[in-house]
Structure 1
Amino acid sequence: MKKSVSIIGGGPAALILAALLDREKFKVTVYEKNKTLGRKFLVAGKGGFNLTHSEPIAELIARYTPPHFLKKALLDFDNDDFRKWIGTIGISTYIGSSKRVYPESGIKPITVLNAILDVLNKQGVTIQFQHTWTGWTSNDAVVFNSDTAIKSDYTIFAMGGGSWKVTGSDGTWFELFERENIPVIPFQSSNCAYRVDWSEDFIFEHEGSPLKNIAISCLNKKQKGEAVITRFGLEGNAIYALSPQIRKELQSQQKAIVFLDMKPTLSSDDLLQKIKKSTFKKTSETLQKEIKLSPAQIGLLKKYLSKETYLNPELLAQNIKKLSIEITESALLNDAISTTGGIQLNAVDENFQLKNKKYNYCIGEMLDWDAPTGGYLLQACFSMGMHLARHLNSLP
């Protein structure tokens, strides 16, 4: 007789788990609070649909915070394995110039989602929509819509973190877990914009300006990439990747200092020589035409440097390489791409089973891990789903 599996949530971790469970051993039902599956998956796809990252597995694992928690799952199902698997369901991929992995041209997010849902259909997976999980009964049956109790052999929670409430990933499950004495940590924004107290005249002139081919550092981490000046502050992949370091500084100091390197390919000495040898009389002309800084970058230097520092070649070169910018807070949870917090990692075993609720598992962004954008978030969710599928398939 087949054992029953209830999967609560309809995101990437849940879907690949449902797709890979042994249909000969399990009767699988996915319970989704919305009217459709994969809403956050589709929304994320609108901003550049990178499915994973192609870098070597050791480097990829190091992108996660903490790296050890996901190491086994990522080794069991790495970025190459994911590309091969998704290729078997009709989604061909390519590696872009950024080393991110994308579906081939013309393949939209909905196409990828439908390919996965087609696997679920062939596997005989049942999908129940508009089923909102509202807790457990005394014998650990799961309750939906406050009045429907389902008792399964295995229950897997994959309900997301606390960001993008419009997609259903609203973190409302947090208090229900807390009531059961499952260790949890409050959600915090990650991969989000960070507040910088720009002046109104600076915003008027530079709001929306990109900062390209830069590097930003905080504490012991440096990230190359791009950022955008916004009314709120700074956002973009170069600062998203520093979320763990910025959060740490905000928690301990109530502010965070990041350092902007406007010319990562040049040393301070190189810059100094260019400035000194320039034939342009005005410093701003030298910066624009000799150093190739954008108007926004020059605007930043003028905002943060005194006139004396700005006109001093040595100090100017140093600040082009390491301009100090103060961050005062992160964006709200609902404006973040992802969140940390949720279920503490020590609350689950190596197969993501809750230690104080046997046969109940948690995967995906519900757990307190972090990763930058660029395919890492999706890769982790897919790897966790695959890891748990293999574990359950191996049970007698």
Structure 2
Amino acid sequence: MKKTVSIIGGGPSAFLLASFLEEEKFTVTIYEKNKTAGRKFLVAGKGGFNLTHSEDISEFIKRYTPSNFLKNALLNFTNTDFRNWLNKIGIPTFIGSSKRVYPKEGIKPIEVLTTILNHLESKSVNIKYEHVFSGWNSDNNPIINNTTVISDYTVFSLGGGSWKVTGSDGSWLNTFKEKGIKTIPFQATNCAYKIDWKPNLIQQNEGKPLKNIAISCDNKTQKGEAVITKFGLEGNAIYGLSPQIREALNQHKKATIYIDFKPSLSLENILSKMVTSNQKNTIQILKKELKLSPSQIDLLKTYLPKETYLNSSYLAENIKKFPLDIIDFSPIDEAISTVGGIDLKAVNENFEINNLPNQFCIGEMLNWDAPTGGYLLQACVSTGVYLANYLNKTITTEK
């Protein structure tokens, strides 16, 4: 007789779990609170549908905080495995210049979602829409739409706390906390970070990019691009430092970052170009010899004391290590993702909730962090596949 699996939440981790559960062993139902599934999946695709990243899995794993928690899941279903699976169900992919992986050109996000949902339908997965989880009854069975749902296995795939417009609002957190499951308050990550800009700087440079830079915080460096906004800084060069910035903000209410405006040049190279230049004006030296952008030059000129700015040695040092103080996160609902949710100590190595046997948590509702670039989605799908493989083996063992 088949076992029943109730998956609460209709996102990527739920889709892959349902897809990899063996049809002859399980009857699978996904309960989604919205009228449609995968809304956050679609919103994430508006800026270019980044499915995963192509880097070697050994390096891939290091992108996560903490990395060990997800290691087995990522090795069990790697970025290459994900691409192969997508291709198998009819979604060919390609590797872009940034080494990120996208659907083949011309394939829209809605087509990806529709293909996945059709695949689930072919496997007899039942999706029930407008079904809202509200807690548990006295026998620890989940309550959905005020009705008790009894199944052999319950899997929660409720997402994080960002992007309320998609239904991913983290409203489940208190329900789990009241149940005695250890939780951690949500915080924004992969978000804009607040800087108290000087008015004249932001008036001239709001919306301007800082390209080909490197930003450091607490001995970690991230290359890429950042954009100056009225609020502060955002972009991939700072998103990847979210764990370090968050720790400093939580501890000290301030995080100091350092921008290297010319990561391709050493301090010695920069100083040499400056002192041997035929240009007499500092701005022209920075523009002609070092190819700094007007925004980079404005940052240096606005924030450095005049005697530092006009001293070649001191100026060169600041070009390589320009300090800025971050004073806050952006609001959670403006963040790409969140950390917090279910404490990792509240689940075992198979994502089973310690004090609720045969009930599991997967995906972004668990307290791990990852930068943008395909890492978030990959971890979600990998946890889903890992749990599916565990349950498949469990039923074999029970026989």
**Structure 2 residue aligned with 1:21:** 21
1:260-339 alignment to 2 at 5 Å? 260-339=259-338
**Structure 2 residue aligned with 1:183:** 182
Matched, 1:236 2:235: yes
How many Å apart are 1:31 and its aligned residue?
0.5
Query: How far apart, CA to CA, are the structure 2 residues paired with 1:199 and 1:74?
Result: 44
Query: How far apart, CA to CA, are the structure 2 residues paired with 1:264 and 1:15?
Result: 41
How many Å apart are 1:277 and its aligned residue?
1.3
CA deviations 1:224-266 (Å, max 9, x no partner) are: 0000000000000010000000011111111000000000000
1:332-347 alignment to 2 at 5 Å? 332-347=331-346
Query: How far apart, CA to CA, are the structure 2 residues paired with 1:376 and 1:365?
Result: 11
Matched, 1:372 2:376: no
CA deviations 1:109-164 (Å, max 9, x no partner) are: 1111111111111011111111111000111221123x211111100000001110
SS in 1 for 2:225: strand
How many Å apart are 1:285 and its aligned residue?
0.9
Q: TM-score, normalised by structure 2?
A: 0.98
Contact 1:12 1:381 in 2 (8 A): yes
Matched, 1:160 2:159: yes
Query: How far apart, CA to CA, are the structure 2 residues paired with 1:181 and 1:53?
Result: 37
Comparing 135-144 with 258-267, greater Cα deviation is found at 135-144
How many Å apart are 1:20 and its aligned residue?
1.4
Contact 1:12 1:41 in 2 (8 A): yes
Query: How far apart, CA to CA, are the structure 2 residues paired with 1:106 and 1:278?
Result: 49
How many Å apart are 1:200 and its aligned residue?
2.1
CA deviations 1:25-78 (Å, max 9, x no partner) are: 111111001111111111011112111111111100000000000000000011
CA deviations 1:155-213 (Å, max 9, x no partner) are: 00000011101111111110110111101111111000000001222111000000111
1:174-253 alignment to 2 at 5 Å? 174-253=173-252
**Structure 2 residue aligned with 1:5:** 5
**Structure 1 residue aligned with 2:56:** 56
- Unaligned residue ranges in structure 1 (runs of 5+): none
Q: Which AA in structure 1 matches 2:269?
A: D
Contact 1:140 1:151 in 2 (8 A): no
Q: Which AA in structure 1 matches 2:59?
A: E
How many Å apart are 1:302 and its aligned residue?
1.1
**Structure 2 residue aligned with 1:79:** 79
Q: Which AA in structure 1 matches 2:44?
A: A
Query: How far apart, CA to CA, are the structure 2 residues paired with 1:390 and 1:352?
Result: 12
Query: How far apart, CA to CA, are the structure 2 residues paired with 1:280 and 1:205?
Result: 25
How many Å apart are 1:278 and its aligned residue?
1.2
Question: What is the Cα-based RMSD across aligned positions, in Å?
Answer: 0.8
**Structure 2 residue aligned with 1:132:** 132
**Structure 2 residue aligned with 1:41:** 41
Q: Which AA in structure 2 matches 1:315?
A: Y
Query: How far apart, CA to CA, are the structure 1 residues paired with 2:351 and 2:388?
Result: 11
Q: Which AA in structure 2 matches 1:363?
A: I
Q: Which AA in structure 1 matches 2:56?
A: P
Q: Which AA in structure 1 matches 2:117?
A: L
Contact 1:96 1:102 in 2 (8 A): yes
- Unaligned residue ranges in structure 2 (runs of 5+): none
SS in 2 for 1:340: strand
Query: How far apart, CA to CA, are the structure 2 residues paired with 1:353 and 1:48?
Result: 34
Query: How far apart, CA to CA, are the structure 1 residues paired with 2:298 and 2:165?
Result: 36
Q: Report how many aligned residue pairs link the two structures.
A: 395
Contact 1:155 1:360 in 2 (8 A): yes
**Structure 2 residue aligned with 1:121:** 121
1:67-106 alignment to 2 at 5 Å? 67-106=67-106
Show structure 1 runs of 4+ deviating over 3 A: none
Contact 1:51 1:375 in 2 (8 A): yes
